[in-house]
């Protein structure tokens, strides 16, 4: 898998973690179970900054733009379709065994696509 694609997926999961801890409902549940939530957001935000620095400006910019627009920038492809907008993806790309070896975007919505291995 392309290293930039790996980092974009990890960045997405990290953003989900940050968004969850920003929700009082989740934070309260985690705190109730004895999990550390104090300072967690700050630590995750710092980690995010470090992650972002390791992603090229091109993909980082696209990621931010897509996140602002759709809320989610990276989506899996399923049954040959982008799961963000359900557009059928080009057959040549979907059938390529090396499809994750570069970053692909949906031709319709522009979201970053990956194929589960």
Partner 1 sequence: MKYTALCKFDLGSDGRDEAVSELLQLFPFGEKTRHLLAGALEVREQVGATVVHRGIALPHCRSILVDQLSIAVGRSADGIGWPEEKVHTVILFISPVKPNGPEEHAAFLSHIAGRIKEHGDEFASAGSAERLFELLDFQPAKQED
Residues that bind partner 1 (CB under 8 A): 1, 6, 9-10, 12-14, 16-17, 20, 23, 25-26, 29-30, 32-37, 39-40, 43-44, 47, 72, 74-76, 78, 100, 116-117
Q: How far is the CB of 71 from partner 1 (least distance, A)?
A: 8
Q: How far is the CB of 30 from partner 1 (least distance, A)?
A: 7
Count the residues in the chain: 117
Toward partner 1, which CB reaches closer, 79 or 92?
Answer: 79
**Segments of the chain assigned E as strands:** 74-78, 81-82, 104-105, 112-114
Q: How far is the CB of 93 from partner 1 (least distance, A)?
A: 18
Toward partner 1, which CB reaches closer, 25 or 95?
Answer: 25
End-to-end CA gap in the chain: 10
Toward partner 1, which CB reaches closer, 6 or 56?
Answer: 6
Write 63-66 long-range contacts (CB < 8 A, 24+).
Answer: 63/8, 63/11, 63/12, 63/112, 66/110, 66/111, 66/112
């Amino acid at each position: 898998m392309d290293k930039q694609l790996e980092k974009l997926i990890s960045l997405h999961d990290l953003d989900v973690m940050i968004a969850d801890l920003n929700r009082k409902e989740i934070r309260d549940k985690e705190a109730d179970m004895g999990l550390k939530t104090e300072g967690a957001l700050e630590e995750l935000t710092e980690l995010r900054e470090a992650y972002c620095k390791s992603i090229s400006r091109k993909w980082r910019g696209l990621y931010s733009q897509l996140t602002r627009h759709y809320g989610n920038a990276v989506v899996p492809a399923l049954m040959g379709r982008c799961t963000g907008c359900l557009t059928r993806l080009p057959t040549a790309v979907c059938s390529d065994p090396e499809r994750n070896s570069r970053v692909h975007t949906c031709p319709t919505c522009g979201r970053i696509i990956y194929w589960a291995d």
